[in-house]
Chain A
Amino acid sequence: MIDELLGKADGVCKGIGSSQHLYRQGFISNGPQGALLPVGTGIGRMVRETENVVVSFVGEGTLGEGVTYEALNLSALLKVPQVFVCENNFYSQSTAQTRNTAGSIPDRFRAFGLKTFLANTWDLPSLMQTVGEAIAHARGNSEPVAIVMTTYRLNAHSKGDDDRDAEEVAFFRQNDPISWISEGNNHLAQRFSEIDEEVESYFDTALSKPELPLDSYVGDQMPRRTSARYTPAAGFEGRVIERVNAFLREEAERGAMIIGEDIADPYGGAFKATKGNGQDFPDAIVSTPISEAGLVGVAAGYSLAGRRGIAEIMFGDFVTYAFDQIVNGISKYHHMYGKQASCPVTIRMPMGGKRGYGATHSQSLEKFL
């Protein structure tokens, strides 16, 4: 981890991820707030076949992001064993909660029907018991739950953004479990001190380590077949949409999850790309509410978990809602996680005009992709 923070090739993500973008043995983190919540839902869609659960951490500042609510809704609708942990530390970066968060935090989770547990990081036995109950509930019922966990951040959110009252910070530092556990236990205090020394001394070693060579820093994943040869183009029978439908049917048969708005039968999607497939593969064809960012995130999570997710944006114009998933997530996972992750998600979208849909349903936005 220290190697990673210093940008060294021995880091957990080869020094590319740094502190905010980490991937290791089932752990995944990313910079944009809330963006990994639907990704967790997609991973959970896969792990619900096992005894495992997905645990998704956010701070209460993330409750301002719309994708958070798309994920809560989708997770509940898809019956995913996902534990949403909301760490409430009273501040969104530097701004007090009273200025940023309206209403009740637990009620935001309850609104989606999630059983919501309350805990804090000062009563450790109760915290352990509550977390255990929450995970058991998610696992046993295959449904999401929430834990609203009151806590406090002892250091700045980032660099130079800590305007909190110094006495307040000192109060919580004094009452932090690490402080009072070590005060009452010489053995633990000694051990904490040894860990501090070990970390400090490792920095000298890490600083002399090499960084990833530039030529292996970024490369695309695509295998290339190069040829100057031309062959007759493949013809086809039927209409284009029927060929798309046939392809999606094959993918459903092969275990892919096809997710989009209104794509289940009998409607079968606005352009009928999945019509008829939902009847035969009801588990593979996942119809969602209007949630472009959420459904693309779910498909990405399913793909990160080793399956194939295919997302349909009903009208390509609305891929704009999913840009964060594409620009800050899907297009980067492989690279920023040191080539340890693969996210072979497919996002389909009809573009173009001529059918009378008007200004927001007829654009060609490929220049942004």
Chain B
Amino acid sequence: MLVVALNSLSDPAAVLRETQDLSVPSIIIENKTDYGRRAPAVNERLEIRQNARTLGHLLITPRYDKPHFSIVTYGEPARLIYDAYDEIVAETNALFDLLCMVKLSPMDLSGPARHMMKHEAILAVEDGSAPFGIGAEILSQLRGRAGSTVVSQCVAM
């Protein structure tokens, strides 16, 4: 069963079309608050790219500086974090990459892992409650790849 989460950082119709064209049973997680949102305002300091894998994740990176850590999430939290990017940087004095998962199941973190392993810390942000959740699964798989050298934490919105 394919589980996909829409977000408002890229075209939801494109994600729906790609999912539909796969012709497999699928569940689409949408978000009530995201429904009313338009595409995000351009932040000149950030670049939004999409991995070319099937239903690949979005990668939001600082355009001019090297990030210190990664945040991985999906769905509406990705938009909230994107919109608050500058505020978070001001509060933490640290730049970060933002990875927005599109395909939640079957979860394939080989692409994101390659990117996130560049940093020493990863924060998974869960839309639901933290225990036994998507964020926990993401961190579990990443730690399986990176061993215990990566500092990681999962929080719920």
Contact = CB atoms under 8 A, between A and B. Distances in A.
A89 B39 CA distance: 60
B34 A240 contact: yes
A363 B26 CA distance: 20
B49 A231 contact: yes
A240 B134 contact: no
B31 A236 contact: no
A233 B17 CA distance: 15
Interface string B113-157: 010000000000011110011100000000000000000000000
Contact of B13 (A246, A326, A343, A347): A246
B26 A229 contact: no
B37 A369 contact: no
Nearest to B30: A350
A350 B35 contact: yes
Contacts of A241: 35-36
A365 B104 CA distance: 13
Interface stretch (B53-61, B62-70, B87-95): B53-61
Interface string B65-81: 00000000001100000
A351 B39 contact: no
Interface size class of B (residues with CB under 8 A): 35 or more
Contacts of B39: 235-237
Contact of B28 (A233, A243, A334, A346): A346
A225 B53 contact: yes
Interface residues of A, number: 60
A232 B50 contact: yes
Contact of A232 (B17, B30, B49, B127): B49
A233 B76 CA distance: 16
Interface string A209-227: 0000000000011111111
B105 interface: yes
B32 A355 contact: yes
A202 interface: no
Nearest to B135: A367
B29 interface: yes
Contact of B10 (A230, A233, A238): A233
Contacts of B9: 233
Contacts of A355: 32-33
Interface string B12-34: 11101101101111111111111
A344 B106 contact: no
B36 A240 contact: yes
A214 B62 CA distance: 46
B5 interface: yes
Contact of A234 (B6, B14, B24, B114): B14
Contacts of A228: 51, 111, 114
Given A238-B38, A240-B6, A364 B54 contact: no
Contacts of B33: 352-355
Contacts of B14: 234, 236
Contact of B52 (A230, A331, A352): A230
B31 A230 contact: no
Contacts of B128: 351, 363-367
Given A236-B10, A241-B35, A344-B23, A366 B30 contact: no
17 contacts: A222-B106, A223-B22, A234-B10, A243-B11, A250-B17, A271-B32, A271-B35, A303-B25, A319-B27, A331-B1, A344-B25, A350-B32, A351-B29, A352-B76, A365-B128, A366-B104, A369-B104
Interface of B: 1-3, 5-6, 8-14, 16-17, 19-20, 22-39, 48-54, 56, 58-59, 75-76, 104-106, 108, 110-111, 114, 126-129, 132-134
Given A228-B114, A331-B1, 19 more contacts: A220-B24, A232-B50, A233-B48, A234-B10, A239-B37, A244-B16, A271-B35, A303-B25, A316-B30, A326-B27, A330-B25, A333-B25, A346-B20, A346-B27, A351-B127, A364-B128, A366-B133, A367-B129, A367-B134
